[in-house]
Structure 1
Amino acid sequence: MTARLLLHPMSVGEAERLLAGAPDGGDGGDRWAPGYPTEGDVLAARRFVGTCADTGDPHPFGNYEIRLREDGRAIGGVGFHGPADENGTVTIGYGLVPSARGSGYASEALRALLLLARAQGVTRVKGDADHDNTASHHVMTAAGMRPAGQDERVRYFETTWTDATPPTDPHP
């Protein structure tokens, strides 16, 4: 949770509804902003459902809907591509509906996800974005990640922790 956002851990049922394009499971609990889910949300939900079927729920290293605290509408997603590897490294992804972009929501959600990763003992978080996706580059740097190289297609970003200092949010 952040000042403006809730990171809602996605359940298998919610992911299946997202894949079916059905915003409400009958309980009135799911509210989607126009444009949600994006193509990235669909890909992440498909990966999450597959992971749950293959190895079980990866919680807390799963997917989270980014919801506005003021009204509960889902405006995007953020999450892990899987649990930490043997070196304590995870890879992240995120995205917002177009109408929610430019308000700092993505970096706010990513900072919260980094805190969650740190609290779970993760020592390195990696992400990447296409070279021409400068908005995503700004999101990762605003959340505290630093450039870590590039290839012909993408720029890589990461953050690492080497001490046992408890996590704190520098941008509450």
Structure 2
Amino acid sequence: MLSMGGDQVDEAVAYAANVLRPAAGLDWSVKAGGLDWNCLETVEHFAGCLVAYSGQLTGRATDTWVPFEVILDEGSGPGDAISVIESTGGLLSAVVRTAPPGVRAFHPYPHGSADATGFAAMGVAELLLHTYDIAQALGVDAEPPAALCEAVLAWLFPHVMPPTAPDAQWATLLWATGRGTLPGRARLERWRWHNLMEIPAARVALREVSPAAAADLAAGGTGGLTWIEGGPFDGTRRAAEGVTKAYASGVHRPGWGLFALVRREDEVAVGGMGFHGAPDEDGVAEVGYDLAVAARGQGYASEALAALSTWALDRPEVSSLLAVISPENAASQAVVSRAGYVRASDREGLRAYVRGGEAA
């Protein structure tokens, strides 16, 4: 699994320091890369981001930024700036390691919050990209470890087709952030990363599964989750395989893949739920789900499906939702009925249920 956490933040900090320390004797008053800041101001910016991410997580901020920033002392030079990078990066890695499972805090992009993994990934991205901006201005070589680039892409850019060439992770990350070009892809003038979302239900939370976690689930792993006995069930692993294939082919759309159903009381995953893909040209999205056997019969699926369906039907591109169930699966038919779905015309011998309008 492409891990993302405190170890990756530490690796990115070490990379930044190793690249910039030999350039400490150069003129850091020049503009950094294509930015409006000079090199020292750029350090202030991304060191401030690292501290802000730490503050968001430790303060459990829910609806805004914790109001503070990092400013270098007057007269600080490049060597001091590098020390600040190491110190602020160390803060973030420590906070990420000690954040309790399930903790989220405010971040505006794109759903209003991020978890510890998301803040770690954003911190790594800040370190890699702004080190590149400074190095470019100073004429210093800067190419980070490919595994770090690959992890940032998988955790923050699930909407970006990953590279097919084994040595193109860094070039792809530069392209995804408007800093470079790739053959066959138009240069980006605007870009934004994607933090995995959480949709609350009554007793469970639906947590979006990243391409990195999906690949691990598809390969027989846990996806970084603690599972109830017997989980994840076969349907969840098949759905994870679908996410993995969609991401590799560049057609994965965040929000329209797989969610893990995680029980709030103990942070144990009990099943999977999600969509078979983005809404079609008629605005119809098909839902699917399964629970581990030990979690069945307790109402988790109905609660989660009601919450997921409400979220989906609030999207302007969705007209209706469809669930297709085998005739003998009475339990699943009861789940969709409790979640507000109504019977529609059968489809190839399977029972169809819709919510939000009549599916074609």
TM-score range, shorter chain: 0.7 to 0.9
Q: Where does the alignment leave 5 or more consecutive residues of structure 2 unmatched? A: 1-199
Report runs of 4+ in structure 1 exceeding 4 Å deviation.
Answer: none
2:215 pairs with 1:20: no
Match of 2:356 in 1: 160
| Matched residue SS, 1:149 | coil
TM-score by length of 1: 0.86
Match of 2:327 in 1: 131
Match of 1:52 in 2: 247
Provide, for residues 106-147 of structure 1, a one-character-per-residue CA deviation record: whole Å limited to 9, x for no partner.
111100110111121211100111101000010001000001
The Cα shift of 1:70 comes to 0.8
Separation of aligned partners in 1, 2:277 and 2:222: 25
Separation of aligned partners in 2, 1:20 and 1:54: 18
Match of 2:37 in 1: none
Mapping of residues 20-169 of structure 1, within 5 Å: 20-23=219-222, 25=224, 30-121=225-316, 122-151=318-347, 153-161=349-357
The Cα shift of 1:44 comes to 0.4
Separation of aligned partners in 2, 1:97 and 1:24: 15
Q: Which has the higher strand share?
A: 1
Taking a change above 3 Å as real, the CA distance of residues 152 and 59 of structure 1, as seen in their structure-2 partners, is closer
TM-score by length of 2: 0.42
Separation of aligned partners in 1, 2:308 and 2:209: 14
Mapped contact 2:217–2:223 kept (Cα < 8 A): no
Taking a change above 3 Å as real, the CA distance of residues 99 and 53 of structure 1, as seen in their structure-2 partners, is same
Mapped contact 2:227–2:269 kept (Cα < 8 A): yes
In our comparison, the structure showing a higher alpha carbon Rg is: 2
Q: Which has the higher helix share?
A: 2
Q: Which amino acid aligns with 1:82?
A: G
Q: Give the alignment's Cα RMSD to 1 decimal.
A: 1.6
Separation of aligned partners in 2, 1:24 and 1:148: 35
Identical residues among aligned pairs (%)? 35
Match of 1:165 in 2: none
Q: Which amino acid aligns with 1:157?
A: Y
| Matched residue SS, 1:35 | coil
Name the count of aligned residue pairs: 158
Separation of aligned partners in 1, 2:208 and 2:354: 23
Taking a change above 3 Å as real, the CA distance of residues 151 and 119 of structure 1, as seen in their structure-2 partners, is closer
Provide, for residues 11-48 of structure 1, a one-character-per-residue CA deviation record: whole Å limited to 9, x for no partner.
111111212222265xxxx2111111111111101111
Q: Which amino acid aligns with 2:336?
A: M
